[in-house]
């Protein structure tokens, strides 16, 4: 028997001067995030965020606020989302 496909979710949003793009498999608690300052495009940073912990642990405090507040909105099903993107 073939296993059921894994559910894929992708989102994007803007917060605190950062553009945040993220994806996750619904069966996994980790978000895979790319973020960049709107004032410095093309300098994206990548993180894996699980339970509020960042890997690698190099995000600035403002970057963490932007990422975590958007993740909270996405998980609550609230606005500031743009589903089904790939960039």
Q: Where are the domains of the chain?
A: 8-76
Q: What is the pLDDT at residue 5?
A: 57
d(CA 39, CA 49): 23
d(CA 11, CA 28): 15
- Which residue would you say has higher pLDDT here, 67 or 83? 67
Q: What is the pLDDT at residue 37?
A: 92
- Which residue would you say has higher pLDDT here, 84 or 41? 41
pTM: 0.79
> Degrees (nearest 5) of the Cα angle 27, 31, 37?
160
Tell me the mean pLDDT in the region 65-74: 94
Structure token pair of residue 69? 């507040």
Instruction: Please write the tens of the pLDDT for every residue from 31-49.
Output: 999 999 988 878 899 999 9
């Amino acid at each position: 028997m073939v296993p059921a496909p894994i559910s894929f979710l992708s989102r994007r949003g803007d917060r605190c001067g950062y553009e945040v793009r993220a994806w996750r498999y619904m069966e996994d608690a980790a978000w895979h995030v790319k973020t960049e300052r709107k004032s410095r495009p093309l300098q994206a940073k990548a993180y894996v965020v699980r339970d509020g912990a960042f890997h690698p642990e190099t995000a600035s405090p403002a970057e963490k606020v932007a990422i975590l507040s958007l993740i909270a909105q996405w998980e609550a099903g609230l606005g500031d989302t743009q589903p089904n993107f790939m960039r």
